[in-house]
Amino acid sequence: MSDASLRPTLSDDAAPESTGFFHPSGRLYRFTILIFISLLVLGSYFAYDSIGALAPTLIEALHLDRSTIGNLYTAYSVAAILIVFFGGMLYDKLGPRHSSLLFCILVLVGATIVALAQSRWELFAGRLIFGAGSETLIVVQSAIISRWFKGKEMALAFGIALTISRVGTLFSFNTEELIARYFGSYRVALWAAAGFCLFSVLCNLVYLAMDLHGEKVLALPGPEGGDKIVFSDIRKFTSSYWYVVLLCVTFYSAIFPFTALATDMFHDKWGIPLVSASSGGFMAQIFDNFLHMFSTAPGVTSIIIFASMVFAPFAGNLVDRIGKRASLMVAGSLLLIPAHLLMGITHWNPIPSMIVLGAAFVLVPAAMWPSVPLVVEENRVGTAFGLMTAIQNLGLGLFPLLNGKLRDMTGSYTATQIMFSCLGVAGLVFAFLLLRSDRRHGGKLEQGKPKAAESA
What is the DSSP annotation of 381-412?
HHHHHHHHHHHHHHHHHHHHHHHHHHHHHHSS
What per-residue confidence (pLDDT) applies to 95? 80
Q: Out of 10-14, 16-20, 361-365, pick the least confident.
A: 10-14
- Domains along the sequence of the chain with CATH: 4-10+21-455 (1.20.1250.20)
What letters, b where the CB count within 10 A reaches 16 and e where it falls short, cover 78-113?
bbbbbbbeebbebbbebebbebbbbbbbbbbbbbbb
Write the pLDDT tens digit of every residue in 71-101: 999 999 888 888 776 666 676 677 888 889 9
> Per-residue pLDDT for 104 more than 90?
yes
Q: CA-to-CA distance for 376 and 264, rounded, in angstroms?
A: 41
Q: What is the mean pLDDT of residues 244-266?
A: 94
Higher-pLDDT residue of 9 and 160 is 160
Q: CA-to-CA distance for 275 and 36, rounded, in angstroms?
A: 31
Write the pLDDT tens digit of every residue in 178-193: 999 999 999 999 999 9
What letters, b where the CB count within 10 A reaches 16 and e where it falls short, cover 39-67?
bbbbbbbbbbbbbbbbbbbbbeeeebebb
Confidence of residue 151 (pLDDT cuts 50, 70, 90): low
Write the pLDDT tens digit of every residue in 114-123: 999 988 899 9
Q: Taking the CA atoms of the chain, what radius of gyration do you get in angstroms?
A: 21
DSSP annotation of 63 reads: T
Residue 383 neighbours by CB distance under 10 Å: 22
Write the pLDDT tens digit of every residue in 384-432: 877 888 889 899 999 999 999 999 999 999 999 999 999 999 999 999 9
Nearest to 92 by CA among 129, 150, 132, 136: 136
> Per-residue pLDDT for 379 more than 80?
no
> Per-residue pLDDT for 382 more than 50?
yes
What letters, b where the CB count within 10 A reaches 16 and e where it falls short, cover 201-229?
bebbeebbebbeebeeeeeeeebbbbbbb
Q: CA-to-CA distance for 172 and 43, rounded, in angstroms?
A: 10
Nearest to 130 by CA among 43, 19, 9, 223: 43
Residue 434 to residues 3, 86, 239, 355: CA-CA distances in angstroms?
20, 29, 8, 26
What per-residue confidence (pLDDT) applies to 334? 95
Coil/strand/helix, residue 65? coil
Q: What is the mean pLDDT of residues 336-365?
A: 94
Q: What percent of the chain has pLDDT over 90?
A: 48
Higher-pLDDT residue of 450 and 456 is 450
Q: What is the mean pLDDT of residues 334-352?
A: 95
Higher-pLDDT residue of 5 and 235 is 235
Q: What is the mean pLDDT of the chain?
A: 85
> Per-residue pLDDT for 222 more than 70?
no
Q: DSSP of 15-55, one letter per residue?
A: PPPP-STT-TTSHHHHHHHHHHHHHTTHHHHHHHTHHHHTH
Q: What percent of the chain has pLDDT over 70?
A: 88
Higher-pLDDT residue of 13 and 210 is 210
Q: DSSP of 96-141, one letter per residue?
A: HHHHHHHHHHHHHHHHHHHHH-SSHHHHHHHHHHHHHHHHHHHHHH
Phi, psi of 119 (to 5 degrees): -140, 165
Nearest to 293 by CA among 358, 337, 198, 363: 358
What per-residue confidence (pLDDT) applies to 454? 40
Q: Out of 51-55, 154-158, 293-297, 336-340, pick the least confident.
A: 154-158
CB 168 within 8 A of CB 302: no
Amino acid identity for residue 277 in this structure: A
What per-residue confidence (pLDDT) applies to 442? 82
Q: CA-to-CA distance for 365 and 244, rounded, in angstroms?
A: 11
